[in-house]
């Protein structure tokens, strides 16, 4: 205890400070006499944090956490920072998509406008980077926030919500359209409020909603409604477009209306060559025909709901009716207000301000879209009928009231409105989409109204006449006033025309409307797309509807249009192959149906279409060429000059050999000589023309060309000599082979004619008359003659001497040519085949050839050639018997040859020849010997 006390005293000993003495240092005094230096580790600092940062050194976690800050400036800064960071490092978006999206979405309802604007900007940026399928998991969240914003009590937030909607519509229309149940009511609530059941006002009974007017907005009620309706329109558009396409339903609206339709079974397509060589195994029934296709019309009952999951979608008529029942009264109210408000400003009813016009245009667009929400045809009909029953009187009253006036004054209105519109646009600069042409409005109005007209019944037609009349007048005047219409408007107008023609079933109406369309069609300098659209309209009208509607079939305008097609084809030439193909697509079926107007016109223009120099058949691509050749089959008559053209087309090489054979075949089939056409009264191809066509095609050169050839001395010319009595004009390999294929087909066709002897007689006369006197002959002509003669020659027919002499000349020249052809195996084969066939089928020809070998007339250099020819002939086994028949002649030649060749050394060619000769003879002798023994 004591010691403790002492200790304590020791602790608290007082230090005596005295003047003059230095103050003793405290025990805990810091010793500061050291020096320090800073160590810089910049690398380490930078890499300490893993993620990339912004300029302000903030990483993504910081930024996200700052979004929850109270201060709106900091929030906005964080949003800007996020955008900067993500644009620098796009990979981050994928990593943090969920966090970023949920945080940004939460800011849609932020109190501060600038924060919301920044959030929208960020969302727009993110949407560009992430594809819809990756956003899909977060989309419920996004749309929940969107809904929250749209139904927010603050109007500024509501307005910004529409911007968000814009972004989502632009990038994720498919995802958004799945949320239509919530969103559609939100749209309604934006411009209206639910009518309380108790308040029985004057408009009661029109619908459950009534329009709201709020005074504290920056924009007028009309502008606000316009913005909302714009979004509603584009949202419905998204719903319509993004719906999983119902099979077998052709979209018949707008530009797609005249597009082709698709089948649901993919047919197997094979060509015979592939199949024959085992390349394509066909499994038809496994592939496409195993079960009857679902499009079979055999159904126990029509499916009421298409595809189980679809029943919540907006595709049945009932759901659409439910929605339309609330929306349409609202739209009508807006229409009335727009029209009424406008009529105060201007003195007459049909003149509208740009804003009102935009509003009306949106209303009509929405009405149109509502109708398109049902994909199935029968549902669409139900919906049409429902619209007609419920709203026809309203529509007629409101829409059509000023329509005819507006129509007449539209042009003037346009001019007047220009200045006004500019002023208004300045005033209402915030509202987008105010630029709506009056034409667009009117056309859309027509479209909406025309869908209400039902097809068929007579009493309804009379009923509808009062409002369809003005529409008809408007359409006729718009189309025929000579102005150029844009593609979109024209498509819409044509759709209206189509519907009216089909529903009204009157010839007067049809001709009236078609006349207007035809005026449009006849304009010069139309854009290609517009031209194609008009063309499709007419061709679909002709091909699809003509049979069901006699009033269309009898239309004068349609006939006139059809007759003009071949002329257009000629005029178009090679300038636009797509358009030509389009034309042919109509000409072909029309020709197949035997349309008189078309066929007459086709016949008139046939020579220019099938012109061998610049006719369509040579300048267009292969697919169109094929169609043209097929159309040939339906021509009523083939005059001589057309056949001359066709023959040249075959031979100029600008159509492929297979197409040329097709052409030859169709001429052959049309001739009565072929025995296919049974009718005897009309003869499309005269026999004389037929035979001269085939002969010209066989030779491949017209008489003028051959005559011109006699006088030229070109490089391709091989001079005539003793061994080659004709001077041969060597054609190019390509031309030769092309011609070779054609000759094959010609021979085949001639071969199937009834009387072979007569046919050969004609050919023989033709050869004698046209070819025998020639000095210069193209090699392909020689080959063709040599080929066709043995194929056409009848056993009992004796060819004339002139022909045989010409043939022997040809044969000799060809054999001579054969030895000079090293470069092309195919040509050599062809030439040899021709010579061989001729020599083996006509024994007298061989004798003539051998007789024409005059050894003593030959010069030194030609001897080896002769020997080679001889050994070639000797080597061939099939020719051996024929050679043997001429053994004495042969022996004579060989003797002369050995005598005449006085060289000391035996050359190789001579040895070869003698060897061949001895082999042939000995073989023959043994045969003879064998025969003697037996």
Partner 1 sequence: MSAPVEVVLSADSAGQLFNCAVFDPHSGSEFLSYRGGNTSSRSLTVLNGEYILGAQLGKNFINVWEIQRKDQLQQKIVCPGIVTCLSASPDGLYVLAGIAEAIYLWEMSTGNLLAILSRHYQDVSCIRFTDDSSHFVSGGKDNLALIWNLSSVVQLDSSRTPEPRHILSRHSLPITDIHCGLMGPQARVATASLDQTVKVWEISSGEMLLSVLFDVGIMSVTLDPCEYFLFCGGSDGNIFQVSLCSTSLSRDKTFQTDSDGNQVFKGHRNLVTCLSVSMDGTLLLSGSNDETVRMWDVQSKQCIWSINHKGPVTNAAIIPAPANMFLADSHPAVPLPRFSRHLNPSEQGDTTGSGGVCLRLGANTQVPEGTYLEKADELYSLMCAVTDKVSGEVHHCCQDSIITVSRILARLSRRRSFV
Closest to 310 (Cα-Cα) out of 266, 253, 374:
374
DSSP 433: -
Instruction: Report the residue number, 290 or 775, with the smaller CB distance to partner 1.
Output: 290
Antiparallel, parallel or unpaired: β 717-718 and 727-729: antiparallel
> Which of 275, 906 has the CB closer to partner 1?
275
- For the bound state, the minimum distance from the C-beta of residue 562 to partner 1, rounded and expressed in Å, comes to 13
Query: Which runs of consecutive H residues, i.e. helices, occur in 481-555?
Result: 487-504, 507-521, 528-540, 550-553
Cα Rg of the chain, angstroms: 46
Instruction: Verify binding: residue 676, partner 1, rule CB under 8 A.
Output: yes
Beta bridge partners of 193: 210
Q: Provide the minimum distance between the beta carbon of 323 and partner 1 in the complex, in angstroms, as a whole number.
A: 35
Q: Which is nearer to partner 1, 563 or 845 (CB)?
A: 563
Kind plus residue range of the DSSP H or E element containing 472 = helix 458-480
Question: Which residue, 657 or 819, has its beta carbon nearer to partner 1?
Answer: 657
Q: How far is the CB of 240 from partner 1 (least distance, A)?
A: 27
Plot region of 456 (φ>0 → left; ψ -120 to 50 → alpha; else → beta): left
Between 286 and 704, CB nearer to partner 1: 286
Region from 5-13, 83-91, 672-680, 839-847 binding partner 1, contact rule CB under 8 A: 672-680
Instruction: Find the binder of partner 1 among 292, 429, 456, 719 (CB under 8 A).
Output: 292
CA separation (Å) from 52 to 88, 122, 337, 344? Answer: 9, 18, 56, 62
Length of the chain: 934
Q: Which stretch binds partner 1 (CB under 8 A): 291-299, 416-424, 449-457, 901-909?
A: 291-299
Least distance to partner 1, CB of residue 536, Å: 17
Choosing from 666, 764, 813, 920, the residue that interacts with partner 1 (CB under 8 A) is 666
Residues between 229 and 288 that touch partner 1 (CB under 8 A): 263-265, 267-273, 275-279, 281-286, 288
The least distance separating partner 1 from the CB of residue 535, rounded to whole angstroms, comes to 19
Nearer to partner 1, 663 or 728 (CB): 663
Q: Measured from the CB of residue 674, what is the shortest distance to partner 1 in angstroms?
A: 8
Q: Which residue do the tokens 């193909």 mark?
A: 581
Cβ proximity to partner 1, 277 vs 856, nearer residue = 277
Q: How many residues bind partner 1 (CB under 8 A)?
A: 52
Nearer to partner 1 by Cβ, of 17 and 297: the residue is 297
Residue 571 C-beta: closest distance to partner 1, Å: 24
Nearest Cα to Cα of residue 186 among 220, 216, 144, 217: 144
d(CA 6, CA 471): 122
- Is residue 436 within 8 A of residue 354, CB to CB? The reply is yes
Closest C-alpha among 82, 152, 93 to residue 119: 82
Taking the least distance from each CB to partner 1, the nearer of 245 and 282 is 282
CB 814 within 8 A of CB 782: yes
- Which one, 420 or 588, has the nearer CB to partner 1? 588
CB of residue 601 to partner 1, shortest distance in Å: 17
Min dist. Cβ of residue 273 to partner 1 (A)? 7
Residue list 529-568, contact with partner 1 (CB under 8 A): 547
Rounded Cα gap, residues 483 and 532, in angstroms: 18
The H or E element spanning position 558 is helix 556-572
Give min distance, CB of 623 to partner 1, in A: 11
Please, which residue, 169 or 268, has the CB nearer to partner 1? 268
What is the pattern of x (binds partner 1, CB under 8 A) and - over residues 643-662?
---------------x---x
**Among 559, 567, 479, 562, which Cα is nearest to 526's?**
479
For residue 620, the minimal CB distance to partner 1 (Å) is 16
Q: Is 99 in the site for partner 1 (CB under 8 A)?
A: no
**Which helix (H) or strand (E) is 565 found in, with range?**
helix 556-572
Of 402 and 630, the one with the shorter C-beta distance to partner 1 is 630
Residue ranges with strand state E in 143-191 = none
Instruction: Show contacts with partner 1 in window 758-777 (CB under 8 A).
Output: none
- Smallest distance from partner 1 to CB 285, Å: 5
**Cβ pair 230, 432 in contact under 8 A:** yes
9 vs 271, beta carbon nearer partner 1? 271
**Residue 638 token pair:** 């083939």
**Near partner 1 by CB under 8 A: residue from 136, 581, 669, 683:** 669
Binding of partner 1 at residue 289 (CB under 8 A)? Answer: yes
**Adjacent-strand bridge partners of 209:** 194
- Residue 458 lies near partner 1 (rule: CB under 8 A): no
Q: How is residue 101 written in tokens?
A: 């999206």
Q: Does 756 bind partner 1 (CB under 8 A)?
A: no
Burial of 719 from C-beta contacts in 10 A (0-12 / 13-18 / 19+): exposed
- Give whichever of 283 and 911 is closer to partner 1, judged by the CB atom: 283
CB nearer partner 1, residue 252 or residue 633 = 633
The one segment of 81-89, 744-752, 758-766, 796-804 that binds partner 1 by CB under 8 A:
744-752
Q: How far is the CB of 523 from partner 1 (least distance, A)?
A: 31
Bridge partners of residue 717, in order along the sequence: 729
Out of 12, 34, 298, 856, the only residue in the binding site for partner 1 (CB under 8 A) is 298
Task: In whole angstroms, give the CA distance from residue 713 to residue 820.
Answer: 19
> Maximum distance among all alpha carbons in the chain?
168
- Under the binding rule (CB under 8 A), the answer on residue 593 touching partner 1 is yes
**Which phi and psi (to 5°) does residue 717 adopt?**
-85, 125
Nearer to partner 1, 488 or 554 (CB): 554
Cα distance between residue 442 and residue 447, in whole Å? 9
Binding mask 393-432 for partner 1 (x = CB under 8 A): ----------------------------------------
List the structure tokens of 62. Answer: 């910081």
Q: Please give the Cα distance from 782 to 456 (Å, whole number).
A: 69
CB of 644 to partner 1, least distance (A): 24
Strand partners, 776: 727
Considering only residues 571 to 590 of the shown chain, the ones binding partner 1 according to CB under 8 A are 588-589
Q: Which token pair is 636? A: 């009523």
- Interface with partner 1 (CB under 8 A), residue from 98, 114, 752, 922: 752
Say if residue 486 is exposed, middle or buried (CB neighbours under 10 Å; 0-12, 13-18, 19+). Answer: middle
Considering only the stretches 566-574, 673-681, 879-887, 922-930, report the one whose residues sit in contact with partner 1 under the rule CB under 8 A: 673-681
Q: Give residue for tokens 């002139």.
A: 802
Give yes or no for residue 716 binding partner 1 (CB under 8 A): no
Within a 13 Å sphere around the CA of 549, how many CA atoms are in the beta-carbon half?
Answer: 23
**How distant, in Å, are the alpha carbons of 192, 673, 674, 675, 760 from that of 757?**
95, 14, 16, 17, 5
What gap in Å lies between CA 42 and CA 279, rounded to an integer? Answer: 69
Q: Smaller CB distance to partner 1: residue 435 or 658?
A: 658
**CA neighbor of 809 nearest in space, from 843, 842, 774, 859:** 774
List 343, 603, 630, 702, residue binding partner 1 (CB under 8 A): 630
| Residue 134 or 279 with smaller CB distance to partner 1 | 279
List residues binding partner 1 (CB under 8 A). 263-265, 267-273, 275-279, 281-286, 288-290, 292-293, 295-298, 547, 588-589, 592-595, 627, 630, 633, 658, 662, 665-666, 669, 675-676, 678, 680, 748, 751-752
């Amino acid at each position: 205890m004591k010691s403790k006390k002492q200790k304590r005293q020791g602790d608290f000993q007082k230090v005596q400070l005295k003047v003059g003495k230095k103050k003793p240092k405290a025990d805990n005094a810091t010793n500061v006499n050291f020096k320090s230096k800073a160590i810089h580790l910049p690398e380490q600092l930078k890499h300490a944090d893993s993620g990339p940062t912004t300029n302000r050194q903030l990483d993504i976690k910081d930024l996200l956490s700052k979004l929850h800050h109270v201060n709106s400036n900091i929030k906005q800064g964080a949003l800007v920072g996020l955008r900067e960071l993500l644009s620098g490092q796009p990979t981050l978006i994928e990593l943090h998509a969920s966090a970023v999206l949920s945080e940004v979405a939460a800011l849609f309802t932020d109190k501060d406008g600038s924060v919301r604007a920044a959030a929208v900007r960020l969302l727009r940026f993110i949407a560009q980077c992430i594809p819809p399928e990756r956003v899909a998991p977060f989309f419920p969240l996004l749309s929940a926030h969107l809904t929250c914003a749209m139904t927010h009590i603050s109007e500024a937030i509501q307005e910004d919500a529409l911007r968000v909607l814009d972004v989502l519509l632009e990038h994720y229309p498919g995802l958004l359209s799945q949320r239509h149940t919530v969103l559609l009511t939100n749209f309604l609530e934006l411009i209206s409020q639910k009518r309380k059941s108790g308040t029985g006002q004057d408009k009661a009974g029109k619908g459950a909603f009534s329009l709201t007017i709020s005074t504290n907005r920056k924009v007028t009620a009309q502008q606000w409604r316009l913005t909302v309706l714009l979004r509603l329109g584009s949202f419905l558009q998204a719903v319509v477009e993004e719906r999983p396409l119902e099979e077998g339903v052709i979209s018949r609206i707008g530009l797609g209306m005249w597009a082709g339709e698709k089948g649901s079974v993919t047919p197997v397509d094979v060509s015979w060559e592939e199949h024959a060589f085992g390349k394509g195994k066909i499994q038809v029934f496994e592939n496409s025909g195993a079960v009857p296709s679902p499009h079979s019309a055999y159904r126990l009952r029509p499916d009421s709901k298409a595809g189980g999951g679809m029943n919540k979608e907006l595709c049945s008529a009932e759901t659409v009716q439910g929605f339309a029942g609330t929306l349409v009264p609202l739209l009508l109210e807006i229409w009335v207000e727009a029209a009424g408000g406008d009529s105060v400003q201007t003195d007459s009813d049909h003149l509208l301000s740009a804003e009102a016009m935009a509003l009306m245009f949106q209303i009509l667009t929405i009405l149109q879209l509502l109708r398109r929400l049902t994909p199935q045809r029968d549902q669409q009909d139900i919906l049409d009928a429902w619209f007609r029953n419920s709203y026809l009187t309203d529509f007629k009253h409101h829409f059509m009231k000023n329509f005819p006036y507006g129509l007449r004054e539209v042009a003037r209105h346009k001019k007047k409105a220009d200045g006004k519109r500019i002023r208004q646009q300045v005033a209402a600069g915030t509202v987008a989409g105010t630029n709506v042409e009056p034409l667009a409005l009117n056309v859309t109005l027509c479209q909406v109204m025309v869908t209400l007209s039902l097809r068929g019944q007579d009493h309804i037609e009379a009923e509808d006449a009062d409002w369809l009349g003005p529409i008809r007048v408007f359409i006729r005047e718009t189309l025929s006033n000579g102005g150029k219409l844009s593609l979109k408007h024209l498509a819409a107008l044509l759709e209206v025309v189509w519907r009216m023609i089909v529903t009204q079933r009157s010839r007067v109406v049809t001709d009236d409307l078609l006349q207007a369309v035809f005026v449009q069609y006849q304009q010069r300098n139309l854009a290609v797309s517009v031209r194609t659209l008009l063309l499709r309209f007419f061709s679909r009208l002709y091909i699809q509807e003509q049979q069901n509607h006699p009033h269309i079939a009898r239309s004068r305008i349609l006939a006139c249009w059809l007759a003009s097609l071949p002329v257009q084809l000629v005029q178009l030439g090679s300038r636009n192959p797509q358009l030509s193909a389009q034309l042919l697509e109509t000409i072909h079926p029309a020709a197949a149906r035997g349309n008189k107007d078309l066929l007459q016109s086709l016949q008139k223009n046939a020579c220019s279409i099938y012109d061998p120099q610049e006719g369509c058949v040579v300048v267009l691509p292969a697919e169109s060429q094929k169609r043209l050749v097929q159309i040939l089959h339906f021509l009523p008559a083939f005059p001589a000059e057309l056949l001359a053209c066709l023959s040249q087309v075959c031979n100029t090489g600008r159509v492929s050999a297979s197409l040329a054979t097709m052409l030859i075949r169709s001429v052959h089939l049309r001739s009565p000589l072929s025995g296919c056409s049974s009718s005897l009264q009309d003869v499309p191809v005269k026999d004389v023309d037929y035979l001269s066509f085939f002969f010209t095609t066989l030779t491949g050169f017209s008489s003028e060309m051959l005559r011109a050839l006699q006088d030229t001395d070109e490089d391709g010319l091989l001079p005539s000599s003793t061994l080659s009595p004709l001077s041969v004009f060597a054609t190019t390999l390509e031309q030769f082979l092309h011609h070779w294929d054609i000759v094959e087909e010609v021979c085949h066709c001639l071969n199937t004619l009834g009387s072979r002897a007569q046919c050969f007689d004609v050919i023989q006369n033709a050869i004698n008359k046209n070819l025998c006197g020639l000095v210069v002959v193209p090699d392909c002509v020689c080959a063709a003659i040599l080929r066709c003669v043995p194929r056409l020659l009848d056993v009992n027919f004796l060819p004339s001497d002139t022909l045989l002499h010409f043939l022997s000349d040809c044969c000799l020249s060809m054999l001579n040519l054969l030895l000079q052809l090293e470069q092309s195996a195919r040509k050599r084969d062809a030439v040899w085949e021709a010579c061989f066939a001729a020599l083996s089928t006509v024994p007298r020809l061989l004798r003539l050839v051998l007789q024409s070998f005059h050894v003593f007339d030959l010069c030194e250099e030609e001897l080896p050639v002769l020997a080679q020819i001889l050994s070639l002939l000797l080597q061939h086994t099939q020719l051996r018997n024929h050679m043997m028949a001429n053994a004495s002649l042969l022996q004579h030649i060989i003797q002369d040859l050995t005598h005449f060749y006085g060289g000391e050394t035996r050359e190789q060619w001579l040895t070869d020849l003698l060897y061949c000769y001895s082999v042939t003879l000995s073989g023959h002798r043994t045969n003879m010997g064998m025969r003697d023994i037996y």
